[in-house]
Amino acid sequence: MNAHLSIQGGSYLHGADDQHGWSNASLYLSGTQIARIGTSGFSSHAGLPVLDASDLLILPGLVDIHGDAFERQLQPRPATSFAYDIAFADTDRQLITNGITTACHGVTFSWEGGLRGRDAAMATLDQVAAQRSHVHADHRIHLRFENHHADGLHDALEWINAGMVAFFAFNEHLPSILKKSASPEKLQTYAERARCDVPAFLERLHKAQSRSTRVAQTIQQLATACREHGIPMASHDDECRQDRERFQALGAEISEFPKTEEALQLAHTLNNHVIMGAPNVLLGGSHCGGLSATEAIRRGLCDILASDYYYPALLHAPFRLEQDGACSLEQAWQLVSRNPARVLGLHERGHIAEQQRADLLLVERQADGSPRLIATIAAGKLVFCAEPQRLSHQRSLELAA
């Protein structure tokens, strides 16, 4: 067996499900996999790359189930827009330098148009497919469908049937947009994001509102297609018991960012997966007045953390949870790696074991308890290294077969 990279020293997080702990052993990577943990089975290799992980934690790569920070690379200011290849190349670099080795991009497909319209969605799907062979992270699509976007049903079904969607969420933002549009400043912001003037945005808003009678059928057709293709589904911003029960009946067994205690508790009772935001943890609460992710985790009511709108939060949140006494680092790491991987059906990643995909992070725990990312390995390749002196090409020790 030929090893392509050896990781020596450090403590790696072992185990899956409810049994976790730290171990000290060498990790040998071959191709895209963790070929062996320990010393047996590898013979001497001159020039074998060795990555020194002394005094570092070795953790599974982060799996981001919901992130839309890529929108800032596409439209960093309201009146600007940049090419998708440039934007996603930069997004890929941001992902790996924040430890995210698997990313589900939250593509909002809405009646709003502009950044969240049909052309933008198609451009994102095309770009993710086109760049797959030369990016470092594993980029996937999380299609966030606005329920009042009845005109988008055909496209969404086509993308689902073509295997382009890894995760699907039902979104219902029209009522809140309608309410907030009473503010001229907020209305202008919506129009700028939609790349139109205010009268055109209001026309789109009222047109979508007029199609309320088609919402139930649209949701039903999309849910049926997702079930047929084995795509996990979520409802977004559940506010009450009826919201969660409605989508549970359709096979959407994930509650993404529940807004009330009632919705959160019911999701837990139904054994649903609950997703909350990692930025919520770092900020000490929701920036928009929602539930506290830290308190939900402390009570065992949250299963997954997502980067949401800020990629760095996913790496830092588990360490903050440990510092705040909400849970151990071992437990917190499951929220950002193992649990989202399982929901997405990616059973070959999310934990460190032989024959698993080699998505690994080398992290220094700093004096204040916060993490510093030293290296990212994605699918067996060292794609980021803040301390290149740790990598050498020494002749490995003769190991027993």
pTM: 0.94
Give the 3-state secondary structure of residue 67: strand
Give the 3-state secondary structure of residue 400: coil
The CA-atom distances, in angstroms, between 17 and each of 124, 230, 265, 337 are 34, 22, 22, 11
Give the 3-state secondary structure of residue 142: strand
The H or E element spanning position 158 is helix 153-161
* Sign of the torsion angle spanned by Cα atoms 391, 395, 398, 401: positive
Q: What is the largest CA-CA distance in the chain?
A: 75
Tokens of 128: 């993710």
pLDDT of residue 1: 43
CA 284, distance to chain mean position in Å, is 20
Tell me which DSSP letter residue 181 carries. Answer: T
pLDDT of residue 286: 84
Sequence-separated (6 or more) residues with CB below 8 Å from residue 202? 181, 187
pLDDT at 46 over 70: no
The CA-atom distances, in angstroms, between 167 and each of 140, 175, 272 are 8, 24, 15
16: confidence class by pLDDT, cuts 50, 70, 90: low
| Radius of gyration for the alpha carbons in the chain, expressed in angstroms and rounded | 22
pLDDT tens readout for residues 303-338: 999 999 999 999 999 999 999 999 999 999 999 999
| Cα 120 from Cα 84, distance rounded (Å) | 9
pLDDT tens readout for residues 159-177: 999 999 999 999 999 999 9
CB 159 within 8 A of CB 165: yes
pLDDT tens readout for residues 62-79: 999 999 999 999 999 887
pLDDT tens readout for residues 262-284: 999 999 999 999 999 999 999 99
pLDDT at 58 over 80: yes
Q: Strand 21-23's sheet: what is its strand order?
A: 21-23, 11-14, 57-60, 360-365, 371-378, 381-385
Residue with tokens 């151990």: 328
Residue 131 CB: number of other CB atoms within 10 A?
16
| Cα 202 from Cα 354, distance rounded (Å) | 56
pLDDT of residue 39: 64
The CA-atom distances, in angstroms, between 240 and each of 147, 156, 243, 263, 383 are 17, 27, 5, 5, 44
pLDDT tens readout for residues 126-136: 999 999 999 99
47: confidence class by pLDDT, cuts 50, 70, 90: low
Give the 3-state secondary structure of residue 341: helix
CB 136 within 8 A of CB 171: no
Number of H helices, E strands in the chain: 15, 19
pLDDT at 397 over 50: no
Could you give the count of Cα atoms lying within 13 Å of 26 in the half-sphere of its Cβ? Answer: 18
pLDDT of residue 55: 97
